[in-house]
Amino acid sequence: MKISLIVTDASPLITLAIADALDTLLLPGVKVIIPDMVNFEVIRHINKPGSRELLNWVNSHQFREVFVGSTETFNEFTILHELNPSVKSKNRGEQAAAEILERELENGVDAAIFLFEDSDIKKANFLIRLPDNVLIMSTSTFLDGLEQSNRIASADEILQKALNIRGEAILNRAIIPMSGIEGIEKSWPSAF
């Protein structure tokens, strides 16, 4: 099964960067895609927690295991930002992720894992537009699956490293399989 892991907003990247755990994204052995808009949202303020770590990590893995996917959403934002530097990027990460997903499906990907930050996982207006073959999960659920399959020692240990900066919301667990891949959440990540 050909699967892509798409990071749909900046929060999971920041949490994992703060915890020095970005390499966990590579453990399922699937293509990791960070939409250009999401990447920009993290690294635009390079002195904020996690920014420099993400920049270095992407640079060391790009084009092998990690891809920064280009999107029209980011291109449009760039034009708007040049005209008005105070323009907000709100919800554009999710829009860019949807663009990436559409492109991946057109290129033969069988399913996608959408990684959200735990506090953002239930954005119903975004979830309604997703196709059937998407598994949506929070950062903590992603890490739990890696722990259960013995790919990491402890999900909670990683989350605890980011807790002081990221807050309690990162401890919430959530997984939402769209109708085309129901049941796969029980076997995540051994199904991959």
CATH number at residue 83: 3.40.50
Does the residue 134 lie in any domain?
yes
pLDDT tens digits for range 71-98? 999 999 999 999 998 888 778 888 899 8
Band (pLDDT 50/70/90 cuts) for residue 122 is low
Cα(189)–Cα(88) distance, integer angstroms: 35
Q: Are 105 and 95 in contact (CB under 8 A)?
A: no
Does the residue 87 lie in any domain?
yes
Does the residue 81 lie in any domain?
yes
Cα(109)–Cα(13) distance, integer angstroms: 23
Q: How many separate domains does the chain show?
A: 1
Pairing of strands 175-177, 66-69: unpaired
Does the residue 161 lie in any domain?
yes
Q: Which domain holds residue 79?
A: 3-187
Q: Are 32 and 67 in contact (CB under 8 A)?
A: yes
Lowest mean pLDDT among 113-117, 120-124, 142-146: 120-124
Helices (H), the chain: 10-18, 36-43, 51-61, 72-83, 92-106, 124-127, 139-148, 155-166, 184-187
How much is the pTM?
Answer: 0.87
Does the residue 179 lie in any domain?
yes
Task: Kindly tell me if the per-residue pLDDT of 141 is higher than 50.
Answer: yes
Provide the residue type at 103 as one letter.
Answer: R
